[in-house]
């Protein structure tokens, strides 16, 4: 029986790479998406469920039959993130993760991997200076508060979780060699989203990073 995974944020800048990598691995993929038309990949092993991770019934529909969850959700758009105009936090990550963890309990799903960022949780001291400045001046503070809330939920969940913390991502189509650290600041903007997606898919069923928070970049 093929492995069946649920991808959240599949229409995003990292998610668009995750689906093809997962299909190449022979996995069955379920993508929960608000706008399914944004997913151009076609495959008999790809199921697209229209909905939102903030709606628990949509999550139940999408996660049924899955044995792992990959969340690549972003709390704000790029424009909202760098704006100095204050916005009310939608808490997309926190609300979504509450739903995801509840449904994982209902269905007996143990494995979850999520996209976070250097500077979240105990990696604050390794955040590049410009990240700390953006948090002070822009809506990055909203993003990081949401990431922190999501990480707290996951780390207390009892699940087999992995939290990946890249230090800024670029849109390069070429992939370098993965660099993993836990105790110093990674090279900022020195990792392609494509390589990040590959990292997630290659470690879906690996025990290497269970209950770990690797900071990622490229060598």
pLDDT at 168: 80
- Taking only the tens place, the pLDDT of each residue in 21-33 is 999 999 999 999 9
Determine phi and psi for 173, rounding to 5 degrees. -80, -25
- Taking only the tens place, the pLDDT of each residue in 114-138 is 999 999 999 999 988 888 888 787 7
- pLDDT confidence band for 83 (50 / 70 / 90): very low
Q: Global pTM? A: 0.91
pLDDT at 72: 96
Contact 29, 19 (CB under 8 A): yes
pLDDT at 81: 46
The whole-number average pLDDT for the span 67-83 is 71
pLDDT at 89: 56
- pLDDT confidence band for 85 (50 / 70 / 90): low
- Alpha-carbon distance of 8 to 113, in angstroms, equals 10
The whole-number average pLDDT for the span 39-60 is 97
- Alpha-carbon distance of 104 to 97, in angstroms, equals 10
- Alpha-carbon distance of 180 to 168, in angstroms, equals 14
The whole-number average pLDDT for the span 52-60 is 97
- pLDDT confidence band for 139 (50 / 70 / 90): confident
Average pLDDT, the chain: 90
pLDDT at 115: 96
Determine phi and psi for 38, rounding to 5 degrees. -75, -10
- Alpha-carbon distance of 178 to 195, in angstroms, equals 8
Strand order in 4-8's β-sheet? 46-50, 28-33, 4-8, 68-71, 111-115, 160-166, 215-218, 178-181
- Alpha-carbon distance of 130 to 211, in angstroms, equals 28
pLDDT(80) > 70: no
Q: Which domains does the chain have, with CATH numbers?
A: 4-218 (3.40.50.720)
């Amino acid at each position: 029986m093929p492995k069946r995974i649920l991808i959240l944020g599949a229409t995003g800048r990292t998610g668009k790479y995750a689906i093809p990598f997962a299909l190449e691995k022979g996995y069955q993929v379920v993508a929960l998406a608000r706008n399914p038309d944004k997913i151009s990949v076609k495959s008999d092993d790809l199921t697209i469920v229209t909905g939102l991770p903030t709606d628990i019934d949509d999550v139940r529909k999408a996660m049924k039959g899955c044995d792992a969850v990959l969340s690549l959700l972003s709390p704000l758009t790029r424009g909202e993130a760098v704006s100095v105009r204050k916005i009310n936090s939608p808490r997309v990550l926190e609300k979504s993760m509450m739903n995801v963890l509840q449904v994982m309990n209902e269905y007996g799903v143990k494995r979850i991997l999520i996209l976070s960022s250097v500077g979240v949780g105990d990696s604050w001291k390794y955040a590049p200076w410009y990240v700390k400045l953006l948090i002070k001046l822009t809506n990055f503070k909203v993003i990081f508060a949401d990431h922190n809330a999501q990480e707290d939920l996951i780390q207390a969940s009892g699940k087999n979780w992995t939290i990946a913390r890249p230090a800024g991502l670029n849109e390069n189509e070429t992939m370098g060699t993965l660099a993993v650290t836990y105790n110093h600041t990674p090279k900022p903007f020195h990792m392609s989203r494509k390589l990040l997606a590959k990292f997630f898919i290659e470690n879906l069923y690996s025990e290497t990073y269970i209950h770990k928070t690797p900071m990622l970049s490229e060598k």
